[in-house]
Amino acid sequence: MNSPNQNHLSCRQSIYQEDHTIEKEVDSQNRQTSMIEKIKIQIKFTSDQKIIYLQNRAILRVTESHDVKGKPELFNNMDQIHNLLWEGYCCQNKKKEGKWIAFWSKKLLKNVGGYYKAGLKYGLWKDLFLNYQDQAQIFEFGEYSHGQRIGRWNYIKKDKKIGGGNYNKNGQKQGKWIELDEGFYKRKQVAYKGEYNMNGMKVGNWDIMYKNDFWKGYQQIGGGSYDLEGNQKKIGKWTELDEGFDSQKQFTYNGEYNKNGMKVGKWDIISINYGEYEYMQILIIYKNIKYIQWRWIIRLRRKLVKDWKVDRIGQKIILPQW
């Protein structure tokens, strides 16, 4: 039989093991330039079912969670941390129940939310887009069953459908989809158009679409093909977007993948400015999987502004800031 001291120690150890902190990169709007910047924050999960958001040890917000051990819903950008509030009822077992509604900057979001049953979403819901913020007021509308999305789901912006597709009974995307980039906002209106197979894997041709305030609609600026076997491997020629792509940094990567989904041969990087190619550029040679030799020649309006060579082994090369 355990002594009281042993029980007390066991309890303390359990609490210590439950407390943990993760680091997350989130979007933050620069109020002077209106540009979105990436910053790192810390998210601490505590044994008393609290989630603490911190930046440089300063507390940004403290929320209660009833699913710390599972997959709690987290804020995805600084706007959400400062402005988003969900309100609803929890049972004695601390599981969400009944109708839940959302507030933004203390104002009720019209018709946003839905119903929980035993802690799981069910029925029709009007969800917030993953990256919902002041510069991305987008919603997702569709149906849940036992906490999983099923049937048709649409992206809604200003009461108009701007994309979407279908989920199967297992909550997997299926068939033709137009899905928004996870970082979608005013200066990064990027969408992907293609098809999912029965197992929720991308197959065949996928187009990368882009829109800005000067264009009436979306235009294709990239894309390529995935294998048809359902391995979601990129094959053949592709035009991809830089991770930091937006209206001020429009870099695309152009080259080829082999049948194993690995980049091979010559890759060019091109910067697009409202549809015109201004920076004609960059030779990247893949000698093998690990060793990459880069030579960058960046031209701005036919004037050579950068010319250098970089060798790296297994390292990522970051494009210079403009």
Q: What is the pLDDT of residue 88?
A: 95
Query: pLDDT class for 94, splitting at 50, 70, 90?
Result: confident
* Contact indicator for 247, 212 with CB cutoff of 8 Å: yes
Query: pLDDT class for 89, splitting at 50, 70, 90?
Result: very high
Residue 193: CB atoms within 10 A of its CB come to 18
Spatial CB neighbours of 162, under 8 Å, sequence gap ≥ 6:
138, 155, 156, 178, 180, 191
How large is the average pLDDT for residues 47-53? 91
pTM beyond 0.85: the answer is: no
pLDDT tens, residue by residue, 191-202: 999 999 999 999
Average pLDDT score over the chain: 81
pLDDT at position 296 over 60: no
Query: pLDDT class for 248, splitting at 50, 70, 90?
Result: confident
Alpha helices, DSSP H only, in 33-142?
Answer: 78-83
Q: What is the pLDDT of residue 299?
A: 41
Tell me how far apart the alpha carbons of residues 239 and 207 are, in angstroms, rounded to a whole number. Answer: 9
Residue type, 315: Q
Query: pLDDT class for 48, splitting at 50, 70, 90?
Result: confident
* Contact indicator for 226, 206 with CB cutoff of 8 Å: yes
How large is the average pLDDT for residues 14-39? 78
* Contact indicator for 112, 99 with CB cutoff of 8 Å: no
User: What DSSP element (H or E) covers 268?
Assistant: strand 263-273
**Of 248 and 83, the one with more pLDDT:** 83
Spatial CB neighbours of 198, under 8 Å, sequence gap ≥ 6:
168, 174
Spatial CB neighbours of 282, under 8 Å, sequence gap ≥ 6:
267, 268, 269, 294, 295, 296, 297, 298
Q: What is the pLDDT of residue 35?
A: 80
* Contact indicator for 245, 253 with CB cutoff of 8 Å: no
How large is the average pLDDT for residues 156-183? 97
Q: What is the pLDDT of residue 165?
A: 98
Tell me how far apart the alpha carbons of residues 271 and 250 are, in angstroms, rounded to a whole number. Answer: 5
Tell me how far apart the alpha carbons of residues 263 and 258 are, in angstroms, rounded to a whole number. Answer: 6
The tokens describing 64, both together, are 């209660």
Name the nearest CA neighbour of 81 among 132, 33, 34, 30. 132
| Cα dihedral value 240, 245, 250, 252, nearest 10 | -10
pLDDT tens, residue by residue, 205-242: 999 999 987 777 899 999 999 999 999 999 999 999 98
Q: What is the pLDDT of residue 321?
A: 42
Residue type, 313: I
pLDDT at position 131 over 50: yes
Q: What is the pLDDT of residue 250?
A: 85
Range from 70-79, 121-130, 172-181 carrying the lowest mean pLDDT: 70-79
